[in-house]
Structure formats: structure tokens, C-alpha cells
Amino acid sequence: METVEYILDENHVATVYLNRPPYNPLNTQLYQELANLFEELEKDPLVRAIIITGKGDRAFAAGADINEMMNLNGAEMLEMSRVSRAAYDKVEAINKPVIAAVNGLALGGGCELALACDFRICSSNTKFGLPEINLGIIPGGGGTQRLPRLIGHSKAKELLYFGEMIDSERAVEVGLVNKSVELEDLLTEATNWAEKLAGKPSIAMQMLKKSINQGTSVDLKSGLDLEAACFGNAFASEDRKEGMQSFVDKRKPQFTGR
């Protein structure tokens, strides 16, 4: 891989870097490599939590690679959209928790990539934005769908219609990010979160993520049915037995991922 790389630590946390500094623009190659990497991470039992961040301190990802996009015809643009959507969907659907550690600019497709993650922690120098309207287009990587579901229609329309950037303080205020920290503390904080998540029982975590992600996009009865099925799967795990027994024994559980 040329445009993404990752490190797996001893605590089962994989840190994925977007590797096109200084601004990490998102092109077709990066989208394809990111999707392929997440396929590998999903299958790797040693990986229990994932962090995505950008190389350097200027940008998480400053958007799609306009130099690539402006030379594409309609059919080629549709193919790029297909590849990018597959990457965003894979990040969102992977059966492990994903944290976006957002540094610097997160614009357009970069903001959309952060939206596909379970959590977003940003540095105080971060600027978020979906400026596509100013280019005569609209977001094509989930911005019009994931953002309203996250922060509500009115606030999402404010960001989407005006196409203006917001700072980290405003991002926390509207609920776009979970937490803002200083740049030098960003990866430390994201790693702390990831290590806590990696220590949770894997099957229960998978079922929890599936129940939330899939259940909130259907009617209530269907969502409750899905929750019941996921609950059953988690209850049948060995980790459920260990979790309950450790509670009775008043000791720390030793989860095995089974």
C-alpha cells in the first residue's frame, strides 16, 4: 500500500494513517487501499479497535483530490464514487469500533470519512467543512445522509447549505465530535479510548455496533427484533459467561473473544 499504512500495538489497537501528506487528499487509489485494508483488519483476530488519522499535522484529509476529479468524465466520476462509497461503507460497517483522530483540516470527503467512524476526537486546530456547494456539486460520500443522522437536520443543513468551515469548539457544540484536545494529546487520547474498547468482549461489541448501526435505520419494531437477535448472539458467547462469573466473583473479567 502506498497511500495508507497502519501499526498494530500490543493492546490490539490498529492505528491507520492516511499517507498523502501534507493534506492527505482522497483519490481513487487511497479509497481502494483503505477498503482493502479494512477487509484485512476485520479478519484479523488480533485487531480489536481501530484509529484513523492523517499523516502530518496539517490535515486529517482536506477533501477529495480535485486534480483527479476535474479531469474525469461522467462515467469515470461514477466509478470513483463507487470506489469511495465502498470505502466509507466498509469503515462504517466493520465489526470493530473505529475512532477518527482528526487533526487539522477535515473537509469534504475527509469530513465524510470521519462521519463513517464510530467516534470522532479532534485536535483544537481542526477545521471541519463540507464545501461542495461552493464547487457547484453536493457531497457524494455520505455527507447528506450521515451528518443529519448525527447532528440533526437543521444543523446539518446549516453546514451543507452554506459550505462554511467550523472550528473544533463549534464541532463539539453541535455534536459532530465527541471531544476536542490539544494536537499533541490527540493520538494519546484516541489510543486511550481505543485500548478501553479493545478490552471489551468482542462478540458483544460486534452485536452492539450492528444493533445500533442497522437498527436505527429501520422502524422501531424491526429494530427491536434485531436487538433481540443480537442480544441472543452475545448471550451465547463464552465471554458472557466469563463476564457474569467475574461479576459474581468480584474480579476483573478475562475476555477471550469467544
- In 3D, which of 24, 164, 146 has the Cα closest to residue 91? 146
Residues 71, 177, single domain; the answer is: yes
In the chain, what is the straight-line distance between the N-terminal and C-terminal CA atoms, in Å? 31
> Is residue 94 one of the residues assigned to a domain?
yes
- In 3D, which of 199, 253, 184 has the Cα closest to residue 10? 199
pLDDT at position 80 is: 87
pLDDT at position 64 is: 86
The last residue of a domain, from among 198, 213, 233: 198
Measured CA to CA, the distance from residue 252 to residue 196 in angstroms comes to 14
* Catalytic one of 39, 42, 79, 112: 112
The last residue of a domain, from among 198, 215, 239: 198
* Catalytic one of 2, 68, 132, 169: 132
pLDDT at position 159 is: 98
132 is catalytic: yes
Q: How many CB atoms lie within 10 A of CB 106?
A: 33
112 is catalytic: yes
pLDDT at position 73 is: 85
If one counts the domains in the chain, the total is 2
Q: What is the mean pLDDT of each run of 10 residues along the chain (258 residues)?
A: 96 97 96 97 97 96 87 85 94 98 97 98 97 94 96 97 97 98 98 97 96 94 97 96 94 91
- Quote the pTM value: 0.94
Distances (CA, A) of 222 to 133, 200, 213, 231, 235: 36, 27, 13, 14, 20
- For residues 5-24, one letter each, b for 16 or more C-beta atoms within 10 angstroms of the residue's C-beta and e for the rest, the string is ebeeeeebbbbbbbbbeebb
Domain membership of residue 217 as a residue range: 202-249
pLDDT at position 199 is: 95
Measured CA to CA, the distance from residue 37 to residue 16 in angstroms comes to 9
